[in-house]
């Protein structure tokens, strides 16, 4: 019997079970899994999705948040037009991705730095942590870091709990890594919003990944020790190193520019390298077997099964699978950039938006080892040992988000 006779919503329900099952299969300590903790985190994850997508209040709230981000981006555009002129707009040359990327990261980097200096970021993530930690029974440090990852990057968030990193348990460190892989920072979300990806769904995915990261982490690496912040309290959170408001704002802008230039350089090299690899595969397969095989077809074939488990219609599994492969092997930026040309329908685009919404790719394993390892040198060996496992867990969080949304659509 063809799997295509199964309704997409039923396939999503199967996918939810499959992704949770994969987490259980790769758990380092299945006997240590706390079922109540897992079920509560799962209820949080489903509740967030249902509230944001199915209730009038939730739809209005996420619309307001998305509108706020879009409005902020419009302010960034004013400064960008002064510097870049007409290159900011979509002209006969099309959208210049590098310009859009620099605008969002520099402006939102400066704004985030300012809010961090003023304590606004810490205030909101501490509220989230205090709401989640007592209910899930997770430590204050790991919950704070997981919450912060819905706003900050995978290295900036651990800085909030820098004073606790060295003494974190193995399970807590796994949460730090997985939450970094399964979320996107606010600045990067703004970039994808400017590319036409739905801000509503990007923001919903980021919030869903907070309990999602805790859920998958505690399945794959259950807590078997007593964390330093087991009571959920933090006495000395990380504060800004800036000396003034102006220093924070300007410093954030400079740091954002450095990050954006690095990303532009990486994209330039990676896109070129992927094209080269694709050309080699095309040539070698045509020569060896008389049939042309592309990198896109390899990704599509391998990941199409995962796309089906998310509830993507059968006729769109191959292009959706190709996007999933590009996200994991290369990065989510290239995958999101290809969404518009993938020929997907509205349902598939919505689901794939959730599946791609995270930093879970192989290059980010190195970023975490270098970045978090610098903050906590004694944990570097752990980061190296479990980096790929955490990458898999972060990917499963994104896939689980997509499957939940696929069932609710």
**pLDDT tens, 108-156?**
778 878 888 888 777 777 777 778 888 888 888 888 888 888 877 787 7
Cβ–Cβ < 8 Å for 369, 158? no
Q: How far apart are alpha carbons 222 and 33 in whole angstroms? A: 5
Is the per-residue pLDDT at 205 higher than 50? yes
3-state SS, 235-286, equals CCCCCCCCCCHHHHHHHHHHHHHHHHHHHHHHHHHHHHHHHHHHHHHHHHHH
In a domain, 97, yes or no: yes
Is the per-residue pLDDT at 93 higher than 50? no
In a domain, 78, yes or no: yes
Tens digits of per-residue pLDDT, 298-340? Answer: 888 999 999 999 999 999 999 999 999 999 988 888 899 889 8
Question: What phi and psi, each to the nearest 5 degrees, are found at residue 243?
Answer: -90, -15
Q: How far apart are alpha carbons 38 and 188 in whole angstroms? A: 29
81: confidence class by pLDDT, cuts 50, 70, 90: confident
In a domain, 255, yes or no: yes
Q: Is the dihedral of CA 345, 347, 350, 353 positive or negative?
A: negative
- Report the predicted TM-score, pTM, of the whole model to 2 decimal places: 0.85
In a domain, 366, yes or no: yes
Most confident of 90-99, 190-199, 246-255, 344-353: 344-353
1: confidence class by pLDDT, cuts 50, 70, 90: very low
Phi/psi region, residue 119 (left: phi>0; alpha: psi -120 to 50; beta: rest), is: left
Tens digits of per-residue pLDDT, 182-191? Answer: 998 877 887 7
* Count of domains forming the chain: 1
In a domain, 44, yes or no: yes
Q: Residue 364: which domain range?
A: 6-408
In a domain, 1, yes or no: no
User: Which CA distances in Å does 406 have to 17, 81, 307, 359, 375?
Assistant: 13, 39, 10, 21, 38
Give the 3-state secondary structure of residue 91: strand
Overall average pLDDT of the 255-260 stretch: 76
Q: How far apart are alpha carbons 289 and 125 in whole angstroms? A: 55
In a domain, 352, yes or no: yes
């Amino acid at each position: 019997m063809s799997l295509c006779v199964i309704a997409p919503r039923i396939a999503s329900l199967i996918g939810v079970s499959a992704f949770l099952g994969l987490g259980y299969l790769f758990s380092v300590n299945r006997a240590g899994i706390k079922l109540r903790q897992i079920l509560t985190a799962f209820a949080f994850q489903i509740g967030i999705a249902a509230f944001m997508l199915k209730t009038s209040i939730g739809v209005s709230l996420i619309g307001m948040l998305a509108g706020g981000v879009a409005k902020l981006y419009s302010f960034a555009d004013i400064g960008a037009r002064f510097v870049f002129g007409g290159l900011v707009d979509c002209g006969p040359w099309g959208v210049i991705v590098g310009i859009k990327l620099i605008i969002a990261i520099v402006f939102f980097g400066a704004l985030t730095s300012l809010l961090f200096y003023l304590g606004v970021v810490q205030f909101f993530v501490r509220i989230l942590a205090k709401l989640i930690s007592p209910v899930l029974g997770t430590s204050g440090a790991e919950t704070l870091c997981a919450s912060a990852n819905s706003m900050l990057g995978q290295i900036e968030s651990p800085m909030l709990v820098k004073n606790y990193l060295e003494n974190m348990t193995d399970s807590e460190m796994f949460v730090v890594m997985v939450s970094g892989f399964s979320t996107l920072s606010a600045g990067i979300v703004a970039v994808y919003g400017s590319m036409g990806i739905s801000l509503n769904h990007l923001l919903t995915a980021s919030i869903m990944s907070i309990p999602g990261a805790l859920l998958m982490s505690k399945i794959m690496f259950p807590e078997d020790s007593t964390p330093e912040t087991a009571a959920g309290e933090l006495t000395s959170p990380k504060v800004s190193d800036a000396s003034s408001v102006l220093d924070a704002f300007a410093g954030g802008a400079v740091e954002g520019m450095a990050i954006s230039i690095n990303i532009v350089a990486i994209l330039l090299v990676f896109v070129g390298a992927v094209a080269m690899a694709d050309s080699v595969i095309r040539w070698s397969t045509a020569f060896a077997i008389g049939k042309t095989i592309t990198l896109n077809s390899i990704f599509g074939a391998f990941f199409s099964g995962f796309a089906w488990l998310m509830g993507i219609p059968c006729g769109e599994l191959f292009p959706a699978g190709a996007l999933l492969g590009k996200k994991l092997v290369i990065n989510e930026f290239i995958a999101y950039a290809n969404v518009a040309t993938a020929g997907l329908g509205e349902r598939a685009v919505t689901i794939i938006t959730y599946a791609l919404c995270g930093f879970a790719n192989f290059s980010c394993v190195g970023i975490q080892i270098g970045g978090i390892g610098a903050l906590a040198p004694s944990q570097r060996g752990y980061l190296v040992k479990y980096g790929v496992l955490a990458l898999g867990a972060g990917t499963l969080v994104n896939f689980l988000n997509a499957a939940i949304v696929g069932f609710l659509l």
